[in-house]
Amino acid sequence: MISIFQNYGGLLLQGFGQTLICSIIALFFALVIGSGFAILEVMPNKLIHGLAKAYIELFRNIPLLVITMFFYVVIPMYIAKISGFAAGTIGLTLYSSAFIAETVRSGIQSVDPGQMEGARANGLSFWQAMRYIVLPQAFKYVLPPLGNQFINLIKNSSVLAFVAGMDLMYQGNVIASDSLRSMATYLCIGLLYLIITLPLSYYMRYLEKKLAA
Amino acid sequence: MSMIEFEDVQKYYGDFHALKDINLNIEAGETVVLIGPSGSGKSTLIRTVNGLEPVQDGKLIVNGQDFANKKTDINRIRKNVGMVFQHFNLYANKTILENIMLAPRIVLHRDEAENKKFAMELLDRVGLADQANKIPAELSGGQQQRIAIARSLAMKPKCLLFDEPTSALDPEMIDDVLNVMKDIARDSNMTMLVVTHEMGFAREVADRVIFMADGQILEDDSSETFFDGEPSNERARQFLGKIITH
């Protein structure tokens, strides 16, 4: 294992970096898009609710690999050339946003409806009530399941390997076939994923405790 | 000048006819108490006044603005019409002071220093200035309800709606809340519509008493006629008899 690190340090580092960057971009946009669709889904307007629901069901129920391949193969045919990294990151963002939307929606719905009523009666608009009163309480409820979604997202970023996204998994495949030492290679790769996911997992737990206090 | 005007208002929940032919006119500055058995539609009626419940037919004009008109901005009506709920509905994620200051800040854009000064005056008025930095869950029900009243007053409304403000409170806390409400009722500029079973309160400060049953207004009397004379409606008489002997 040590020799893998010694001989292929550059590739591993590059893969680690790509995985990290892809995860951070996807995490940020998936959270923003997911929260947005969660709010649209709880809006009283039936049309908006229906559209949000359709988006969520679409991306939640198609395999991540299929979504990613779609962006990798179809977009270049009709719109613009797109790198494997970009296709993978977009696919991962949309796929994860659907799960995050469902998580945030359940959080919004677990906030006492009296909070929204009180805020509306107090003169706040629907969006102001969401922003200042409902969402802060909802995020407190959904922090534990949201942490799971974040960790899933990072692990799912390995989909980049299928579209030459130069991520950790992709470099792992390269190293394994070059060194012919598959087991040691994939152990190294697993270890590097843990370096990202474990601290995140602990940080989410810390946040949970801090907010519960 | 009338503050609240119902004209042949109808309200349905699906097939259920919750409010039937409501005609009611409440003048600015009046204190009106709404009573009736549970399920009579009194909470539904009060919740239509600030648009928490939409009405399906008829005319409902509040502070000169017509709910039926699609151009009416419901948020603008609510700036002038405060509401106090049975279960307080204070913002669980904000301190007491923030509960009071939030809406004036983000809806009225009131100057921060002035906002805080007025909030503290209101806290003083409801006797809870020392609780400013706590969160709602740390307060008793009676205290929370007084904060909820202060929060409504912070918007400087022309009209206040109270939906069973003391029904969820322990008996020993009810008086504190009623005293704050009586204090507001004495202010002749404030219009108050109160759903309550507190007959002592109704007798002392109400200008008018309205009795509802089965989604209809059955009796609309001055407070003197209602309590000291005889309500003309049989059901209102029975209801009054029961509630006073208890």
Q: Of A114, A123, A137, which has the smallest distance from its Cβ to B107's Cβ?
A: A123
Closest residue of chain B to A139, computed from CA coordinates: B93
The counts of H helices and E strands in chain B are: 9, 10
Express as a percent the part of chain A with pLDDT over 70: 100
Closest residue of chain A to B152, computed from CA coordinates: A122
B178 in Cβ contact with B84 (< 8 Å): no
**How is domain A19-168 classified at the architecture level of CATH?**
Orthogonal Bundle (1.10)
Contact A128 B87 (CB under 8 A): no
Which residue, chain included where needed, has tokens 């008109």?
B69
> Residue B156 belongs to what domain range?
2-245
Q: Of B92, B93, B103, which has the smallest distance from its Cβ to A122's Cβ?
A: B103
Contact B87 A125 (CB under 8 A): no
B50 in Cβ contact with B83 (< 8 Å): yes
Give chain B positions within 8 Å (CB) of A137.
92-93
The answer, yes or no, to whether residue B244 has pLDDT greater than 70, is no
CA-based nearest residue to B153, from B121, B182, B128, B131: B121
pLDDT at A210 (0 to 100)? 85
Mean pLDDT, rounded, for B1-30 = 92
Q: pLDDT band at A208, cuts 50/70/90?
A: confident
pLDDT at B231 (0 to 100)? 80
Give the separation between CA A7 and CA B78, rounded to whole angstroms. 69
B44 in Cβ contact with B220 (< 8 Å): no
Q: pLDDT band at B245, cuts 50/70/90?
A: low
What's the alpha-carbon Rg for chain B, to the nearest Å?
Answer: 18
Q: Does B1 touch chain A (CB under 8 A)?
A: no
Domain CATH code at residue B133: 3.40.50.300
Domain boundaries, chain A: 19-168
Give the separation between CA B91 and CA B136, rounded to whole angstroms. 7
Mean pLDDT, rounded, for B48-63 = 90
Please indicate whether residue A134 or residue A2 has the higher confidence score (pLDDT).
Answer: A134
Cα A67 to Cα A62, A73, B58: the distances in Å are 7, 10, 52
Torsion, Cα A147 A151 A152 A154, to 10 degrees, reads: 140
Query: How many residues are present in chain A?
Result: 213
The answer, yes or no, to whether residue A194 has pLDDT greater than 70, is yes
pLDDT at B49 (0 to 100)? 93
pLDDT tens for B103-141 read: 999 999 999 999 999 999 999 999 999 999 999 999 999
pLDDT at B197 (0 to 100)? 87
Q: pLDDT band at A124, cuts 50/70/90?
A: very high
Distance of CA A26 to the CA centre of its chain: 5
Contact B87 A133 (CB under 8 A): no
pLDDT tens for A164-185 read: 888 889 898 988 888 888 898 9
Q: Which of B93, B96, B110, B149 to probe the A interface (max A CBs under 10 A)? A: B93
Contact A117 B75 (CB under 8 A): no
- Give the HSE-up count for residue B240: Cα atoms under 13 Å, Cβ half-sphere: 24
Q: Which of B74, B89, B162 to probe the A interface (max A CBs under 10 A)? A: B89
Please indicate whether residue B197 or residue B108 has the higher confidence score (pLDDT).
Answer: B108
* Chains A–B, number of C-beta pairs less than 8 Å apart: 63
The answer, yes or no, to whether residue B229 has pLDDT greater than 90, is no
Contact A118 B155 (CB under 8 A): no
Q: Which residues contact A190 (CB under 8 A, 6 or more apart)?
A: none
Tokens of B148: 């909820």
pLDDT at A74 (0 to 100)? 87
Give chain A positions within 8 Å (CB) of B148.
118
Closest residue of chain A to B153, computed from CA coordinates: A122
Q: pLDDT band at A19, cuts 50/70/90?
A: very high
pLDDT tens for B231-243 read: 888 888 888 887 7
pLDDT at A6 (0 to 100)? 83
Contact A125 B75 (CB under 8 A): yes
Please indicate whether residue B243 or residue B35 has the higher confidence score (pLDDT).
Answer: B35
pLDDT at B21 (0 to 100)? 93
Give the separation between CA B211 and CA B194, rounded to whole angstroms. 12
Mean pLDDT, rounded, for B159-167 = 93
CA-based nearest residue to A107, from A160, A19, A165, A41: A41
Contact B82 A122 (CB under 8 A): yes
pLDDT at A78 (0 to 100)? 87
The answer, yes or no, to whether residue B246 has pLDDT greater than 60, is no
Contact B52 A117 (CB under 8 A): yes
B2 in Cβ contact with B32 (< 8 Å): no
The answer, yes or no, to whether residue B76 has pLDDT greater than 80, is yes
Model pTM?
0.83
Q: Which of B91, B135, B155 to probe the A interface (max A CBs under 10 A)? A: B91
Mean pLDDT, rounded, for A154-163 = 90
Give the separation between CA B210 and CA B221, rounded to whole angstroms. 6
Q: Of B78, B89, B102, which has the smallest distance from its Cβ to A115's Cβ?
A: B89
- The number of domains in chain B is 1
The answer, yes or no, to whether residue A22 has pLDDT greater than 90, is yes
Q: Does B196 touch chain A (CB under 8 A)?
A: no
pLDDT tens for A23-69 read: 999 999 999 999 999 999 998 889 999 999 999 999 999 999 999 99
Contact B91 A117 (CB under 8 A): no
ipTM of the complex: 0.89
List all residues of chain B from 60 to 79 with a beta carbon under 8 Å from chain A.
75, 78-79
SS3 content of chain A, % helix, strand, coil (to 5): 90, 0, 10
CA-based nearest residue to B145, from B127, B121, B133: B127
Query: How many residues are present in chain B?
Result: 246
| CA angle in degrees (0–180, nearest 5) for B59-B60-B62 | 145
Cα A169 to Cα A18, A62, A198: the distances in Å are 10, 22, 18
A19 in Cβ contact with A88 (< 8 Å): no
B194 in Cβ contact with B33 (< 8 Å): yes
CA-based nearest residue to B93, from A131, A103, A34: A131
pLDDT tens for A80-114 read: 888 889 999 999 999 999 999 999 999 999 999 99
Q: Find the helix or strand (DSSP H, E) in which B31 lies.
A: strand B31-35
Please indicate whether residue B133 or residue A75 has the higher confidence score (pLDDT).
Answer: B133
Q: Does B91 touch chain A (CB under 8 A)?
A: yes
CA-based nearest residue to B147, from B77, B51, B82: B82
